[in-house]
């Protein structure tokens, strides 16, 4: 910013010399026009109404778009400009737009580099949900075979009573106590879980598939007539070659609850 002030002062020197000279005419017009032009330049390039920042942002936007079309990892220079030119809200908006654009165009290298770079901008819980949703879109585009991953209880399973209510939760074995899928049910045919049953976008059955995880199955039921409770806690190794994994419950697996 200082350099603009110095350039303005330097540009004013010949005019000042002209005005101070005793042999020149129309000094008022020349001086007034010069002041008007110089003040206009300062307003356009230094004040809060400056257009220079907008021009630089447009250049940056074009550069990133060109890299996306070529499916390149976004350059370090572009990312540095991204950090320096934009405020935090602009960073989030631009990140969402460019990542979405990369995914829509199936430019996976660009999308992955932008996703990794922009994670730090999404801090609050609601912002993290937006970020995880972008991650899920990227993953499902890159690995479409896991997009419809699901889990169900086999129709041949044994149940100790008629079900009044029940719940099923799937966890990563030795992982965080956040279910990759969970659901309430009242009938056996309702025990069918998909990626949509996850509590955190992207942390779902598909992610368990991709990482060759072992699933911990928790099922709890309440009986209609006896009002007794039963539960199951068991492990299942997911078959990567199957979109839908099924689990058959045997009679000896049910434990009586309190």
Are 156 and 246 within one domain? yes
Are 198 and 119 within one domain? no
Are 235 and 173 within one domain? yes
Residue at 50 is within a domain: no
Are 182 and 132 within one domain? no
Are 154 and 252 within one domain? yes
- End residue of a domain, out of 142, 158, 185: 142
pTM, two decimals, is 0.70
Are 103 and 159 within one domain? no
Are 177 and 240 within one domain? yes
Contact 78/60 with Cβ under 8 angstroms?
yes
Are 132 and 37 within one domain? no
For 217-258, write each residue's pLDDT tens digit: 999 999 988 889 999 999 999 888 888 899 999 999 999 876
For 78-129, write each residue's pLDDT tens digit: 999 999 889 999 999 999 999 999 999 999 999 999 999 999 999 998 899 9
Expressed as residue numbers, the domain containing 133 is 75-142
Are 182 and 250 within one domain? yes
Are 136 and 162 within one domain? no
Are 158 and 136 within one domain? no
Tally of domains within the chain: 3
Residue at 159 is within a domain: yes
Residue at 100 is within a domain: yes
- End residue of a domain, out of 117, 142, 167: 142
């Amino acid at each position: 910013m200082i350099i603009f002030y110095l350039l303005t002062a330097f540009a004013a020197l010949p005019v000042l010399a002209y005005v101070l000279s005793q042999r020149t005419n129309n000094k008022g017009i020349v001086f007034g026009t010069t002041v008007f032009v110089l003040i206009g330049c300062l307003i356009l390039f230094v004040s809060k109404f400056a257009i220079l920042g907008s021009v630089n942002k447009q250049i940056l936007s074009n550069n990133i778009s060109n890299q996306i079309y070529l499916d390149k990892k976004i350059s370090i220079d572009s990312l540095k400009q991204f950090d320096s030119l934009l405020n935090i809200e602009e960073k989030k908006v631009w990140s969402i737009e460019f990542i979405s654009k990369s995914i829509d165009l199936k430019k996976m290298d660009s999308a992955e580099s932008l996703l990794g770079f922009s994670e730090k901008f999404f801090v609050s819980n609601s912002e993290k949900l937006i970020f995880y949703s972008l991650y899920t879109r990227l993953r499902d585009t890159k690995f479409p075979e896991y997009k419809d991953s699901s889990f169900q209880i086999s129709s041949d399973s044994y149940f100790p009573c008629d079900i009044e209510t029940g719940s099923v939760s799937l966890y990563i074995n030795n992982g965080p106590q956040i279910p990759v899928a969970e659901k309430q049910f009242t009938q056996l045919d309702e025990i069918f879980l998909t990626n949509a049953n996850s509590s955190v976008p992207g942390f779902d059955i598909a992610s368990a598939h991709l990482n060759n995880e072992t699933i911990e199955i928790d099922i709890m039921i309440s009986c209609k007539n006896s009002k007794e409770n039963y539960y199951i806690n068991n492990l299942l190794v997911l078959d990567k070659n199957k979109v839908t994994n099924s689990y058959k419950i045997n009679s000896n697996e049910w434990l009586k609850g309190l």
